[in-house]
Structure 1
Amino acid sequence: MGEFVLVPGARLGAWAWDAVAGSLRGAGHAVYAVTLSGLAERRDPDADRVGQQQHVDDIVSVIEGNELYDVVLVGHSYSGIPVGQAAGRIGDRLQRVVYVDSSIPAEGQSFVDGWDEDDRAWLEEQLVEGDGTWLPAEAEHFVDQDLSDEAVRQLVLRSTPHPGLTLTQPAQLARPIGELPTTYVKCLMAGDTPAPDVREKLESPHWELVELQTGHWPMLSQPEALAQLLSAAAR
């Protein structure tokens, strides 16, 4: 049985993994869902000061603090950035990294470095409006992503502003991510093919690609299918 550490994407807390975590525990796995600093129940007035390395430290602390080994470390969306860095820091505690429709880290690059000029300008406006945080999305953001009305309602109501520094600070890799055993999960309703940096890494013999016919939030749209995929990654 694997020991799963599940890290949610931007503006989300550990709650987003509840259904997946329940399925994994039902299959006999140990599961630790992480809320990153400044988000959800860990939100505080100083969220705008939380940096990317704090999020990396959050993940490493859960693994080392609980003395976990054979860890399947799972990151969704934004959290692929800190997850990839944490994976390189935990050494032989790692069994596998799973990126769920996520960004991946590159040494010296930030989450937004691959964005085009218009999207970066939009984010800068968001960070000003949000006093240094990325504001939660409205319901329209979740259209055509295989989500029920209730899932969209939960995403809108429970999302919290995301610390802006975590999006703009550069990654610091302890090990090249191409060397780590990795599964990349591409959610096809969010785009037919992975991003160019992911496609490059998929040339590594340590990486594999798995596809899910769902949207960008599979932990809410297809939790059972995602849990089965994660269980397979732990074998």
Structure 2
Amino acid sequence: MTNFVLVAGAWLGGWAWDETAGALREAGHAAHPLTLSGLAERRGEPAGQQTHVQDIVDEVERLDLRDVVLVGHSYSGVPVGQAAGRIGERLARVVFVDAMVPVDGESALSGWPSDEVREAIAESGFWPPLTAPEFAGQGLTDEQIARIVDGSTPHPGATATEPAVLTSPLSELPGTYVKCLLDGDEPWGAAAELLKSDRWELVNLDTGHWPMFSRPAELARILHESVSGP
């Protein structure tokens, strides 16, 4: 039985995976949605980037999981990518869902225009959640947008600005990158570099950046096929 550890992106908690996790369980897998420190029901807990990496490692070890697929969405690709190198033989695969890819020594905000985000973090200590209009064009219904906005919490700023620490190259691990096409036609930057590895595959999904809301069943199918084949 495959154990999927599901980690949502900035501002979100494990609740974001409810529908996708349910579909994975119906397919015979175990699904473990994880809320990182400082978010959702863990709001108020202090967190830096390595706190989030340790959250993931601790969950795998606490549950004594084997045959683990670590799934990182958006920001959470950064801690998931680091955690993947730290759980050893427990790891079966890494899956990035339209995710940031960690680069050793660089932060989650490196490589893309982020001055406004950095200024907000410097002022308040948090990365502010998006507002409803900022979700336009991402394949989401008004109801889905409201659900995301209502469930979002300010994201601990240090997790986005502190540098990643990779213990081994991600390119040496088995992986899948899921590119959500409404958020750009193809992976770029560190994601494009990673996909040059013959151990990584690219899967396109015709939806926006939050597929666990817009296309949860299809995302679950992709996750299932990443370990089981079509």
TM-score for the superposition, normalised by structure 1: 0.95
Counterpart AA for 1:150: E
- CA distance in 1 between counterparts of 2:3 and 2:37 reads 22
Partner of 2:67: 70
Q: 1:148 aligned to 2:149?
A: no
3-state SS of 1:156 partner: helix
- CA distance in 2 between counterparts of 1:14 and 1:150 reads 19
Q: 1:183 aligned to 2:176?
A: yes
1:36 Cα offset (Å): 0.2
8 Å CA contact retained: 2:49, 2:160: yes
3-state SS of 1:175 partner: coil
Q: 1:28 aligned to 2:28?
A: yes
- CA distance in 1 between counterparts of 2:121 and 2:192 reads 30
Partner of 2:94: 97
Residues 121-147 of structure 1: per-residue CA shift (max 9 Å, x gap): x01232245x20111110011101000
3-state SS of 1:234 partner: helix
8 Å CA contact retained: 2:120, 2:127: yes
- CA distance in 1 between counterparts of 2:127 and 2:133 reads 17
Counterpart AA for 2:14: A
- CA distance in 2 between counterparts of 1:155 and 1:3 reads 25
- CA distance in 2 between counterparts of 1:150 and 1:56 reads 32
Q: 1:217 aligned to 2:214?
A: no
8 Å CA contact retained: 2:19, 2:212: yes
Counterpart AA for 1:79: S
1:70 Cα offset (Å): 0.5
- CA distance in 2 between counterparts of 1:62 and 1:39 reads 16
Change in CA separation of 1:26 and 1:104 when aligned onto 2, cut-off 3 Å: same
Partner of 1:202: 195
Matched residues, percent identical?
A: 56
TM-score for the superposition, normalised by structure 2: 0.97
- CA distance in 2 between counterparts of 1:55 and 1:217 reads 20
Match of 2:78 among 78, 81, 95: 81
Partner of 1:7: 7
- CA distance in 1 between counterparts of 2:62 and 2:157 reads 27
Counterpart AA for 2:108: F
3-state SS of 2:85 partner: helix
Size of the aligned set, in residue pairs, is 228
Q: 1:135 aligned to 2:132?
A: no
**Structure 1: gaps spanning 5 or more residues:** none
Partner of 2:154: 161
Residues 128-184 of structure 1: per-residue CA shift (max 9 Å, x gap): 45x201111100111010001111001111100000000000000111100000000
1:196 Cα offset (Å): 2.4
Partner of 1:126: 120
Match of 1:114 among 111, 123, 127: 111
3-state SS of 1:219 partner: helix
Provide the alpha-carbon RMSD of the alignment.
1.0
Counterpart AA for 1:126: A
The 4+ residue runs of structure 1 with deviation greater than 6 A are none
